[in-house]
Amino acid sequence: MAAALRTLDAISTLLFYLACLLVVAIVCMVTYDVFSRNLGLPTAIWAVNAVEYAMLHITCLSIPYLVLTRGHVCVEIVLTYLPGGLRRTWETVLHVLAAAICAFLCFESGKMFLQVLADGSYEVRSFDAPMWTLYISMPLGFGFGALQFLAFLARGDSFYGAAPETHAGM
């Protein structure tokens, strides 16, 4: 089980690093676009659409890592006032519910991915892109996000009671 959890964490981190590379690509595209417009050089007419697609992928690819690092939204005020046993039960319910929502979104986006892949659909804007390229990161992000929520339970870990430095952004 420990090896599976380490593999899950490694995949989540890899997806996050891919999202980080997309952020770098966005910075480069926007910088080139601004400089080319101001210097009278040929502009990248595809830049706006590419940035839109990249932002979608950044969001989806980051989901598992945000769960792993406890960067997801969690309102702890209710948990702080619950007795220990009830708090653990409530957290378990919340982890299972969050995993179920992510699994549902993984399933639905996976269906769409397979449908547009089979149809050969294209997104026609400033450049033509196969529609599957829009959907590919969704089932990955939601699927591994669901597994990360379940990993809390497998590890016996809890969002509440974690050391303050483990609360991302807090």
Q: Considering the chain, what is the average pLDDT of its residues? A: 87
Burial status of residue 127 (CB atoms within 10 A of its CB: 0-12, 13-18, 19 or more): exposed
Distance between CA atoms of residues 76 and 81, nearest Å:
9
CA–CA–CA angle 143, 144, 145 (5° rounding): 90
Residue in this structure with the two tokens 């959907």, named with its chain if needed: 135
Higher-confidence position of 115 and 85: 115
Distance between CA atoms of residues 119 and 111, nearest Å:
12
Express each pLDDT in 118-143 by its tens digit.
998 888 877 888 889 999 999 999 99
pTM score, two decimals?
A: 0.84
Q: Say what percent of the chain tops pLDDT 70.
A: 90
Of the candidates 79, 60, 42, 36, the residue with the CA atom closest to the CA atom of residue 135: 60
